[in-house]
Structure formats: C-alpha cells, structure tokens
Amino acid sequence: MDATDPLYAQVAAHYRQAITAGTMPPGSRMPSVRTLMGLHRVSLSTALQACRLLESQGLLQARQRAGYFVRPPRPTRLARAAEPRQTQADPARFVGVHERISEILTRGIAARPEVNLSGACAHPSLYPTRALALHGQRLLRRRPEILGTQPDPQGLLGLRQALSRLALNAQIQLDPSQLVITHGCTEALSVALRAVTRPGDAVAVESPTYYGLLQLLESLGLRALEIPTSPHTGLSVEALEAAAAQEPRLKAVVVVPNLQNPLGAVMPDAAKQALLASCEARDLALIEDDTYALLCDTPQRAIKSWDTTGRVIFCSSLHKTLAPGMRVGWIAAGRWQPRVEILKYAQSRPNEMLGQAILAEFLAGGQIERHLRALRAKLATQREQMAEALSDELPTGTRLSMPPGGPSLWVELPEGLSSLALFDAALEKGVRLGPGLMYSNSDRFDNFIRINAGNPMDEAQRRAIATLGALCASMLRR
C-alpha cells in the first residue's frame, strides 16, 4: 500500500491482501459499505469505489441485496493441473528441438493470426510506456550527447542502484557493483551458462521449461537434464538429487522458482532452500531466472536471498514487468562475477546508455510499485476471465493450472488430443497458441498448451477460445 494512492485504492489494497493471504477465504462476506465507512473513516463513495475496484479485479462478487463476497479463486469445472506423471528424470541429452520450435514460431508469425494466445507477456497498454517515453523525450532534449558517448562497461550506475533497491523486494541484498546490465535476461542466462559450463556438460532444467532456454542450451552444445516439475510447487528437488547422482558432468541447475514458465509454479520457501543446499552439496551452480517474480500476486523470496557463498547466479530483466519493448536485463553472478563480466564484455560490449537512462529515471521516480500493483491486479482479473472462458468451452477432462501471478495459463487437454494438431487447425481459423511440444526436449507435453492471459479479455478472445473448444471436440470425435 502506498500513502500516495487514492483513499479507495488504499482501502481496496487492505482487503486484497487479506483475500490473497487467505485471511478472508472464498465465499466469505466482505464488510458492508457502511462498516467500511466507519472502520476506515471514509465517505460512502470511497467505500463503494473500493468494493468496485476489488470486483473489477475479480476478487469480490456482488450478490443482489446481500452485498459483496470473496469470489472463488478459480472456476470449479476444470480440474486443477495434475502433478507430473514422471517422477524421475530421463538421462541428460543434447537438445534437438530448436528446429521444431523455430518452425512453430515462424509459422505462427507468418499466419498473421487474428487472435494470438501464445506469448507470455501482458498487453502493451498495461505498461507505463507513455511515462517511459516522457523520460526518454526529456533525456534526449537535455542530454543528446548520450547518443554519442561510450557507455559504462558494467552498465549505468544509477540503473544498477535502482535495481539493487528493487531486489530488496525479493529480500536480496546486492551492492550495485555486484550487478552487470545485459541485453535482457536471455543474455544474462547466456553468459551465466558460458561461465559455468563447457560444451558437452549437462544442465538441469525444469520440465516443461521455457523454449528459449532449450534453444540456448542447444546453441551452446550443452545437454539438458529435464527434471520433473510440479505445476504448483515447481522443480522436484528429490528428482534432481536422484538424477544428479547419475550424471557426472552435471554443472548447473537453471530454475525459475517464482512463476515458472510455462507452469506458473511458485516453489515453497522450504523447497528453495533445499534446492540451494543440494547445489551446495553437489557443487553445482544455481542459475536463478527471476523474469516473472515481480508479477507474483504476493511477494516471494528469491533463492539468491539465502545465498551466503555466492553460488546463485541471479538473472533478471524488466522485459515482462515494465517494458516489453526494451532489452534491459541484469546479472548478479556471485563467485562467478569476474568471469561473467569478461564474457558479457567480450560477447556484446556494454548496453547502450539511452534505454538504461530511461529506466533509471523511471525507477528513481518511485512509480514502479504502483505500476506493479496495477499490473498484478489486471493480470489476476484476466487470468480469471480466461480460465472461465476455457472452462466454458474446452471439453471435459481438461485441466488447468491457476498460477498465483503472471500472464500464462498451462492447460492439459484430454488424453489423446495433440496440441500440435490443434495448433495447425487453430492457425487456419486465425488463432495462435503455444503447443506443449515447444517446452521440452521430449514429446511428453504434446497434450498441453500454454495460453496467454496477458491481453484484456474481449469478444475476439472469447470467440477464439470457443473455436479451440469446437476444434478439440471434433478432434476427440474422430
């Protein structure tokens, strides 16, 4: 809560926290408008506005003449995503899915679909692009010479300071000198992997995982050890332990502990600590991808926050949280920091100043917390609405993860349905989705799809979901 927020938003934030924390469980009654007026010493219209905000965020529902009630957090018709059937990892192997991934991506783009349900990012309108652009205009007017000046090797100090402050949210204490600015989180992951592996080494990853990570491993000649991962609690540390014992060339684990992509899982703190302990015991580098963490409905700790030996390489970016059109990431590589600085400098030299300066000014203005609160609330609403649409349209037997934040839903289709076949059929009807085959080196996730709830729900999206439902039904009849 921010004292500069309007009063009704402050009141709403109070109850949103209580609802998210479970203090006010689904179905429980919201204090009446009159009670709110007394409790918070606000006017009738302020109390009403607070309730309406929570309603628009999908947290409350109004029942006629009975007032507001906490809304059930997920539609009931679709079953909760199942735990992985695999409990053990397959042996590590060289990644060979780039061609498939890139073929799917290229086809998806070329088809110019009317509705794009792939992607894992919020709609541009949900980002403060106008405020960022104003900072940019002012910078270019006052300091045009930044376009002619060589940037600082580690990145702009003002930005590194702001990012260190931002990292406090994840309970990480970082000195600005321990950060290097990179071209997005992808470059951070790229130099992290290069710092701790050699071609032919094995790297443990979540299964399913972000296809970009698979492409990166493939391009570096690394073998992927895919570890079974729960849609709710994330990477199975037990399965990792068992697999690590069998793989002498395992050098690193890459993990997205908060809002894993595509699952949306958040690892419990105990699991995060167990993973760190396991990496310590086996002398593995722990590469933590923090891309989505700031989109969690409630703040989560980073694994890096427990790191006392410099074993965690923390990689993040503002790409999903603040500005999808900008490529500013960062890396805090602990004991590998000197090596990472060398690799970043040799690979692409420092980032240019302009983008860094825009972000530094925005962050210094202190508006990010308010932006993030609004973004999280909107994404929560959109996830709910998308889940409802899926629940209305997809066949019985469909299961769904309801992640506690972020833009993505991970959908398990009934047995026997191929997401790749669905991808093809849907593309013909102007709808694009992310078929599960993109997220693993195996064929294990062919009956899964990733659906983006990052865009405000509208009629076109509802129709697209209905199209998917009809296609699934006809494929099941065949």
x-marked contacts with its own copies along 355-394 as a string, rule CB under 8 A: x--x------------------------------------
| Interface of this chain with its own copies, residues 150 to 209, rule: CB under 8 A | 150-151, 182-184, 186-187, 190, 194, 198-199
Among positions 3, 65, 145, 308, the unique one binding its own copies when judged by CB under 8 A = 145
- For its own copies, give the closer residue by CB, 6 or 365: 365
- For its own copies, give the closer residue by CB, 134 or 475: 134
Among positions 325, 365, 366, 416, the unique one binding its own copies when judged by CB under 8 A = 325
Residue 324 as a binder of its own copies (CB under 8 A): the answer is yes
Q: What are residue 63's DSSP bridge partners?
A: 67
Cα torsion 156, 161, 166, 167 to 10°: value is 100
Among positions 8, 68, 127, 292, the unique one binding its own copies when judged by CB under 8 A = 127
- For its own copies, give the closer residue by CB, 6 or 124: 124
CA 173 to chain centre: 22
- For its own copies, give the closer residue by CB, 72 or 124: 124
Residue 432 as a binder of its own copies (CB under 8 A): the answer is no
Among positions 71, 223, 327, 432, the unique one binding its own copies when judged by CB under 8 A = 327
Span of 212-220, 398-406, 446-454, 457-465 interacting with its own copies by CB under 8 A: 212-220
Among positions 129, 278, 367, 418, the unique one binding its own copies when judged by CB under 8 A = 129
Q: Applying CB under 8 A, which residues contact its own copies? A: 98, 102, 119, 121, 124-125, 127, 129-130, 132-134, 136-137, 140-141, 144-151, 182-184, 186-187, 190, 194, 198-199, 212, 215-216, 218-219, 221, 323-327, 342-343, 345-355, 358
